Amino acid sequence: MRIQLITGISGSGKSVALRAFEDSGYDCIDNLPVSLIEKLVETMELEQRRQIAIAVDARRGESILQLPALLQKLRSKHEVEILFLNADTNTLVQRFSETRRRHPLSNPNESTTLIDVIEKEREMLAPLAKQAQQIDTGHIPAHTLRQWITEHLKEKPIGLALIFESFAFKKGVPSEADIVFDVRCLPNPHYEAPLRELSGKDKPVADYLGEFPEVGQMLADIKAYLEKWLPRYLQDGRSYLTVAIGCTGGQHRSVFIVHQLKKYFSGKKEINNVYFLERHRELDSRNSRIG
């Protein structure tokens, strides 16, 4: 049975993620106590269910600390994945302010601030974040998160998931990034009027960037680095590795490099136990709004 655990910082989009899994055919349970997860799995197994998604948070305090050991036990019989959603503190404070929701860890009888409880929650969930696929939702709308989850479920996760993600430095580095490359030193198609509204996926932009030797050299250097060190990441037992490529606006150069990396590594038959995903934080968000 495939078990998908959805967790993360309150206000980062767990409910949106859970609905995306439900739309993809998962049996979904929200806010389940950790003590009941094993019993739920046993019941689902007897009913011959194949896919379940469980959302948990830190509101039950110490019980969340039992989760890593429980997940290790479940992995002896089932395929278990963890999705950890995160966002920067300023974004979370703004979201709670807009929705007028109370943070699950807040206590009216204590003089703690919202920022205090957010940081407390980060500390409590840190052991889970280290073994999870992480998505920073601070700069993406809900429909982009749903799109990324749907695309992830189309893949066949065997071994390491290598995620290539483009982003704009002016909006911050994605918190889930493990390796970051800065391509702002490359020629910028934004200053070419016919290319400004296009993206790094479009042929005119690719042709333009292809005219500059330094673009090809940057791409070759990134490929060489990843080919050299990817085996070590595999040996480290990781399930997810996010390679983030950043430029100024996240529309042209970083998108082009990410698209080329995904195409290149997906075609390498000699790389085993790795599957590749392509994400564009700014571009996917923009296209979702337009669509």
Write down the domain spans for the chain. 2-154, 160-290
> Rounded to an integer, what distance in angstroms lies between the CA atom of residue 70 and that of residue 237?
19
Q: Which residue type is seen at 34?
A: V
57 confidence band (pLDDT: 50, 70, 90): confident
Say yes or no to pLDDT of 204 above 60. yes
pTM of the model: 0.73
Which of left, alpha, beta for 113 (phi over 0: left; psi -120 to 50: alpha)?
A: beta
Which CATH code for domain 2-154? 3.40.50.300
User: 110-167 pLDDT, tens per residue?
Assistant: 767 889 989 988 888 888 888 888 999 988 888 899 888 888 777 555 578 899 999 9
Tell me which amino acid residue 49 is. Answer: R
Q: What is the DSSP letter of 57?
A: -
C-alpha to C-alpha distance for 74 and 76, rounded to whole angstroms: 5
pLDDT digits (tens, 9 = 90+) for 246-265: 999 999 999 999 999 999 99
What pLDDT sits at residue 62?
58
Q: In what order do the strands lie in the sheet with 240-247?
A: 179-182, 240-247, 160-168, 274-280
What value does the mean pLDDT of the chain take? 89
> Whole-angstrom Cα distance, residue 280 to residue 259?
9
